[in-house]
Amino acid sequence: MSIEVNGLHFSYGKGKKRLTILKDVTFSVGKGEFVGIIGNVGCGKTTLIKHLNGLLVPVTGNVTVDGLVSSKKEVCRKVGVLFQQPSKQLFCKTVFEDIAYGPSNFGMKGDELEYCVHDAIEKVGISSDILGSSPFSLSGGEMRLVALAGVLSSSPDYLVLDEPTSGLSTFYKERLFRTLELLRQNGVGIVLVSHHLEDVLGVADKIVYLNEGKMVFEGAPEEYLSSLSLPAPEITVLMRGLSSSGLAVRKTVFSVEDAFNEIVGALSEKRG
């Protein structure tokens, strides 16, 4: 079972005022698969993910989730979405009420609801001590994790995150990615949207690159980094230059730590 996006076109307005946002986008997300959607600001990433749980309907093409058309009500529970600004997903008086909102709408109550809330906060690494607090009294990182717990409390089969690391400290970013890895290991399909390449290259099974609303690449991170026609992290550009200069380093490195180790190793070998 999977999310299937086929020939998706979307535009706003009509006639001469019509603005096309997405053009013939096709890709899939399987259970337990981590897909990174990347591209510059304004390329259509957020508009695309709004189609994955029926918030928007394609002008042409279609989106299905486990065989269901995305506009079906059941899809809202199958696909959880964490938007870029967590404050817009938090609106209750307490953290507990916010996390419980989704499953209570699906009819859950009593001990089952209590368990569901505690299970969700455990997954994201939040202390139960804050359940009685106002979500708006929390730090930005804590608010994002509470919003994520609110999405996870409905036990979605797929999780979509829009720029989830924006404004996060290293501590909360690491905690977020630990949570996502555990979810993936438990079979949850994950879609992470970012304009920061480094956020997805080290964790994604597949990269989808959008440019001006068109999907110009779909494939493994290694394939993406091997392409000279696609935007690359600065570290990768540096490593390509060093390789072209004759230093025996990998050209697909994108992290500072890996680049350092590659360079040290190559220089040691050269001296030897």
What's the pLDDT score for residue 71? 85
CB atoms within 10 A of CB 79: 26
Q: Are 200 and 177 in contact (CB under 8 A)?
A: no
CA 241 to CA 264: how far, in whole Å?
16
> Of 221, 230, 215, 231, which Cα lies nearest the Cα of 253?
221
What's the pLDDT score for residue 86? 75
Domain 2-231 has CATH 3.20.20.70: no
Query: SS in 3 state form for the chain?
Result: CEEEEEEEEEEECCHHHCEEEEEEEEEEEECCCEEEEECCCCCCHHHHHCCCCCCCCCCEEEEEECCEECCCCHHHHHEEEECCCHHHHCCCCCHHHHHHHHHHHCCCCHHHHHHHHHHHHHHHCCCHHHCCCCHHHCCHHHHHHHHHHHHHCCCCCEEEEECCCCCCCHHHHHHHHHHHHHHHHCCCEEEEEECCHHHHHCCCCEEEEEECCEEEEEECHHHHHHCCCCCCCHHHHHHHHHHHCCCCCCCCCCCHHHHHHHHHHHHHHHHC
Q: Over 80: is that where the pLDDT of 87 sits?
A: no
Q: How confident is the model at residue 229 (pLDDT cuts 50, 70, 90)?
A: very high
pLDDT, tens only, 50-86: 999 999 999 999 999 999 999 888 898 899 999 888 7
What are residue 54's phi and psi, to 5 degrees?
85, 10
pLDDT, tens only, 134-170: 999 988 888 889 999 999 999 999 999 999 988 788 8
Locus of tokens 């009819």: 107
pLDDT, tens only, 233-253: 999 999 999 999 999 999 999
What's the pLDDT score for residue 272? 61
Mean pLDDT, residues 186-199: 92
CA 263 to CA 256: how far, in whole Å?
10
Q: List the chain domain ranges.
A: 2-231, 232-272
What's the pLDDT score for residue 105? 83
Question: Structure pTM?
Answer: 0.89
pLDDT, tens only, 10-54: 998 877 788 899 999 999 999 999 999 999 888 999 999 999 999
Return the structure tokens found at 150: 């609110």
